[in-house]
Each structure stands twice: as structure tokens, then as C-alpha cells.
Amino acid sequence: MKRAFFLFLFAIGLGLYVGAETIFVSVLEKTPDAALYNFESSSAWESGVLDALFDMGAIVSNTPIQNASTFALQKTLQEAQEGGANTILVVELVYLAIPNTQKKERAAPAAAKFYQYSVGTGKLLKQIDYNSPSLSKNIEEDMQRAKEQTRRLFVKQ
């Protein structure tokens, strides 16, 4: 009987210790004409961010990719709180030019801005800016850059 009781306490303690951080992710597109395009690069960045957070042991949920000009932080904070999230990660992808489909140009973000907010207080916890040394050439490169920058944001200092 004692053994079962101690095993029960150990299981509860382990469950409390293993509790993962819950992160709500919003990926935003900022384009020259303020229109929403849902570029394939944005989807790759979203996948890279989510993969990196999952690899770090976080529980993640996300909103659909949206236009930066229509993003409402307060609404997102409320949704995240209702979903039980601890923090919100907003990733703003900055596109400097709209691609020319006739020339087969690919849209790729020139910069990405990461903002981490506390759901409880709404305060900005951390911010990093990433300025791409060159436009990415493919989706795999976009995903890799997203993973690297997400890990950089969450590095323990």
C-alpha cells in the first residue's frame, strides 16, 4: 500500500515537472500594397516556427496566416487565454516586392520580426529582428531560417 501511494505521488510530481509551455503563434505578412497574398514562403516560415517550437517541447496552436495591417493583438491575446496559452509568438514577415508571375519571380521575405508576448499581462517579453542577407531560393531554405530564428528567440540567457 505504501508503495502504491509513493508511486502515485511520484507520478503527480513528474506530471507537474514535465508541464510544457503553451505557445500561440500568429504569422503575419506585411507587403508593399498591404494586401494579403498567402505566399508559399509564409507557409514555409509558419511550418518552420511550429516545428522548432515542437522540437523544444512546447505545445503550440496557431492562427491562419494574416495581413499585418488587420492583426488585432488584443483579440489574439483573448483567444490565446481562452486556449490556455502562456505566451503569444507573433512573426511578422516583411515582403519588399510583390513577385512578377510572368518572370517567375518568387516572393520571399526580406525580414522577419519576432515578438513574444505574455498572455497574462499582454506585455512584450522579447523581440528579435532578422534581416535576410539574401532572399531565400526555396521553401526548404525558408523553413530552415524560420527554425533558426525561433530557436534564437527562445535561447535561455
Q: What is the pLDDT of residue 5?
A: 40
User: Containing domain of residue 123, as a range?
Assistant: 20-153
Distance of alpha carbon 103 from alpha carbon 105, whole angstroms: 5
- 125 within a domain of the structure (yes/no): yes
The enclosing domain of 135 has a CATH number of 3.40.50
What the block records as the C-alpha cell of 54 is 515542437
How many domains are contained in the chain?
A: 1
- 143 within a domain of the structure (yes/no): yes
| Whole-angstrom Cα Rg for the chain | 19
- 12 within a domain of the structure (yes/no): no
Q: What is the pLDDT of residue 35?
A: 65
Q: What is the pLDDT of residue 146?
A: 96
Cβ burial, residue 128 (10 Å; 0-12/13-18/19+):
middle
> Phi and psi at residue 97, in whole multiples of 5°?
-140, 145
pLDDT (tens digit, 0 to 9) for every residue of the chain, 157 residues total? 545 444 444 434 434 434 579 999 999 999 887 666 778 899 999 999 999 999 999 999 999 999 998 899 999 999 999 999 999 999 999 998 776 665 666 788 999 999 999 999 999 999 999 998 888 889 999 999 999 999 999 886 4
Q: What is the pLDDT of residue 115?
A: 97
- 7 within a domain of the structure (yes/no): no
- 99 within a domain of the structure (yes/no): yes
SS (H, E, C) the chain: CHHHHHHHHHHHHHHHHHCCCEEEEEEEEECCCCCCCCCHHHHHHHHHHHHHHHHCCCEEEECCCEEHHHCCHHHHHHHHHHCCCCEEEEEEEECCCCCCHHHCCCCCCCEEEEEEEECCCCCEEEEEEEECCCCCCCHHHHHHHHHHHHHHHCCCC
What the block records as the C-alpha cell of 30 is 506585411
- 43 within a domain of the structure (yes/no): yes
